[in-house]
Amino acid sequence: MGQKVNPIANRLGIIRGWDSNWYGGKDFSSKLVEDSKIRKYLGARLAKASISKVIIERTLKLVTVTISTARPGIIIGKGGQEVFGVPVYNYVAEAKRAHDFDAVICFVPPKVAKDSCFEAIDAGAKLLVLTTEEIPMQDVVEIIAYAKAHGTTLIGPGCAGVIVPEVCKVGAHPVRFFRKGKVGIVSKSGALSYEIGKTLSDRGIGQSAVVAIGGGPIWGFTQRDAIALYEKDPDTEVIVLLGEIGGGSEEAAAAYIKANVTKPVVSLIVGRNAPAGKSLGHAGAIVSGNVGTAATKIAALQDAGVYVVKSPMELVEQISKLLKKGE
């Protein structure tokens, strides 16, 4: 039968730490049982706090318990109070009853992402930005299906969110990198959207909106969805598609552009020199055979009439030409 080893053992000290940190000595067994009782108690006492991890540390006279939770207000009792003038609530539904809002951003550990998203959707969120990465794939599928069934637009998971310069931000985009303008950007990579946004702003070219959908293998909001909105948006004159190797989302976007889009589209595909079968950065950036390669994406986009460029600076130059042409 062979030996069965929990995979956590192979990660300790590398990408994961110990959940119990102490020297037991002669009392090792009793302390181990005590740790188990502490975790069991917290699990029962804080059942609605969406606890993802409990770390117990011991010194000679002190026991320190660190709790990772998606709902800290339930544990520390911040509900009904304020932090830097911002009201705090224990549940999204409580906040919804007190305020008129329809957008929610979710910063929670992967283990509790599904419950947190369901709670936000049940509270009536029409836009949900899910920044969390490494969520179990089954949970992602269920979140996307639940959002779709309730009419909620889900951006993510593992995304930087969306910003409308000088209007609002729901995500992680640095406000100082962007300025109001006529260029709509959609990107898988958050960092790439920052870079392109700042490069454009430095050249005096503003953005109507910037959305980073995440680099995982599946999303709630796709490049095609963003392009469809930009095509209808009166404030957007040029659309920018920032893509990368892996998957077929750029090809799907190209097919939509060819059939439905009249505005000029400029695209930059990163990862042109990536070897086949390698994962580069994002979970979705995997090339398998002739599927998801830079060549297939570029060919599909060019066939759709998209201006495909090779560098950020070339992208800026092409956008500048298109904006001047439209004046």
List residues with catalytic annotation: 282
Residues 286-311: b if buried by 16+ CB within 10 A, e if exposed: bbeeeebbbebbbebbeebebbbbee
Cis, peptide link before residue 110, omega less than 30° from 0:
no
- β-partners of residue 286 are 279
Assigned token pair, 287:
């090339």
Could you tell me where the beta strands, DSSP code E, fall in 156-278? 161-164, 168-171, 180-187, 207-212, 238-244, 265-270
- Closest by alpha carbon to 202, among 63, 316, 52, 74? 316
- Closest by alpha carbon to 214, among 190, 198, 193, 230? 190
DSSP letter string, 104-148: EEE---GGGHHHHHHHHHHTT-SEEEE---S--HHHHHHHHHHHH
Contact 127, 102 (CB under 8 A): yes
* Percentages of the chain per state (helix, strand, coil), in multiples of 5: 40, 25, 40
